[in-house]
Chains A and B, each alone.
Chain A
Amino acid sequence: MTKTLIATTALIGALTGPLVSTAMAETIGISIPAATHGWAGALNYHAKRTVEMMKETHPDMDFVLTTTPDSGRQVSDLEDMVATRGIDALVVLPFESEPLTGPIKRIAESGVWVTVVDRGLAQEGIENLYVAGDNTSFGETAGDYFAQNLAQGDKVVVMRGIPSTVDNERVAGFEAALEGSGIDVVAMDHGNWNRDTAFTLMQDYLSRFPQIDAVWAADDDQAVGALAAISQAGREDEMIVVGGAGMKEMVERISNNDKTVPVDVTYPPAMISTAIEMTVLGLTSDAPLGGSFVISSELITPDNAADFYFEDSPY
């Protein structure tokens, strides 16, 4: 199932409006990771924005938003929500799959509506609704672009993120897309989705390889660091950099036809909005709603860049 986020949001916005009066006083709990890096920051931004919006359209509904720095704290948060706030629905982006599966399963079994966002649980069929980005498609999209735009024998360096399932899926997708293209991946190291780490990593790549034709930074924060190192070395014209997620700054560069940053790959943090809105809809309407919404990654090009630019987003 592939949808663009904007379309979904518009659709639900239109649907939820008239349903206000029929709803009873319900509480929705939302638990997401703390804003420790750019993408999570944007996730927080969109979650808060959506909660504000929902409060206006559904004055009788309560929202409990918690952000957590680790799995352990997330479990406690969930327990608190159930025990002290008596939530009717839960929107959760699990910090890690395995440790959160049990606690979320128990909450689901107690009759609470559960929407899982982005990171799937270790066991299938627990949640009522699953909204996620597609990490494999994220890697594939970048890989496909490289396969189509680079020549055989061109050299690519890869910056991976924090070692995790997300990172593994992305890299697997990327490698699968490159297979048979004759493009040479010369190095892969972890930039930990951190600008500073990416900067030093790129500096060292530049010292190490006289020829680099493309950098898959796999994340826009990493791309920022890599670009700074490339411009320090004065090698902007030798290579292209493809990041990921759709950061404002990157989208801007693409729409300005920047030669070093020709495209970007989306992994929209606004998926949390979709999840919250659909959960509200699920609670308020009698229409059966559920299943799995996987939002595929898209390639941002100078042609469609305008659609991905959010003026007031922090990211």
Chain B
Amino acid sequence: MSAVNTAPSSAPILALSGVTRSFGPIEILHGVDFALRPGEIHALIGENGAGKSTTMKILGGYLDPTTGEVTCDGQSVRFVNSDAAEDKGIVMIHQEFNLAEDLAVDQNVFLGRELRRGWRLDHKAMRSRTADLLTRLQCRVDPAAKVNRISVPDKQMVEIAKALSRDLRVLIMDEPTAVLTERECEILFTQIERLRAEGVAILYTSHKLGEIKRICDRVTVLRDGTMVKSAPVADITEEQMAAAMVGRDLSDLYPAKPVAGPDTVLEVENLSVPGVVSGANLVLKRGEVLGIGGLIGAGRTELAEAIAGLRPRHGTVRLLGHDLPAGLVQAAVEAGLAYLTEDRKGAGLLLDKGLRENLTLPLLHKFGKIMIDRKAEEAALDKAISDFAIRAPQRSMRVGDLSGGNQQKLLLAKTLLSDPQVVIIDEPTRGIDIGTKQQIYALIADLAEQGRSVIVISSEMPELIGLASRVVVMHGGKIAGELEGDQVAEGAIVRLAMGLGEHQEEAVA
């Protein structure tokens, strides 16, 4: 898999020239020029809020430019809606999949464009064509399976199959690897490269610069709505990309690792969650940052949720010498333990509510006796905005309209509002740009510095290695091993995560 294919000089299929876009009085994009050529994978990178989503939505026909021009095959076009764009073979795959969860795979692939035989649906044809498409993608999902029963990467394959089922010319992918494991990413990359070989123009966004270096041909960097760089990937290093995105040097992405104190804060003994976690033991010291690694599905999140009282469990959890009752979140929070979910949008924030309501939700009883003290709430929000550097254009806006990074900062502020002694942070930087990452890493180190203890669960290897002084690795619902100090390294973690450490088992994905 070479990083650079032939540098395609063919005419662009889809291009933007001098495009600006305003929302109300605020201009988000300031004159973007951008072209997608057949057989080229073009990376679009930038911090959250830099204008990537807006650019993609304009390309995909979801938004109109305020000024400037969209051209398709050299002709100026104005898509009425995304359907009009799709008719031209321009398909966008969203980060949150556009799949009807209760329908079968084949029904999803042909949703809205069902094949018919007279007035009846031609189930057989749709099923067999879906099977063909999935085979082409080397995806072994049963076309008759319901979408809510298949895995996240399989859903992504279904989205791609959906795109392939029409005459695909431009594929816009919004952070496709954010929810995938490394192995799943490999499969995706193979597919993307195959599509490139077929002459599809691909727009690819990701916060993982390593990926971009590996599979993309060209990279364009957006910062604050302006194009700051556009170059062949071969001519630019990851560090240069990051610097272009953030506009400053990022040599110190990870802060110095804090030193753990002597006293134990949290003890987990023989914790089991039926079917997912069995016999887990953990010890957490004051001022420590403990990492938990492992593949997606190894039981990391379930372990954390069981500790936090969000899942039924067996076994003991002792916080500062007191046993925490199982299945009671409120008790855990009151005792000083907080959990920050990996599912920011599904379980972390109320997307249709404002910042204030979200921030104070877990701790409303502390804001006023009977009536909520709105002034105190506003003060807490002021503090959170400044402490966590949350950038919100308007205080009253819906949290769903915030960028991912600012959502994550708000979620952190919300989790830390109860002033917990122990914080479990599940995937602290999923789908977040590098600048915000750096801020969150610094925050985690600060927490430990203040004498709090932090558990970080992460699928990103560099993150575990850069943050944690001790890493526990899970495999198949069990704790496969523990690494400390110099042992904390990518090879050792992967070995344990694949089940190759102490237990010589076959790797199970």
Tell me if chains A and B make direct contact, with any CB pair below 8 A.
no
Task: List residues of A whose CB falls within 8 A of some B CB.
Answer: none
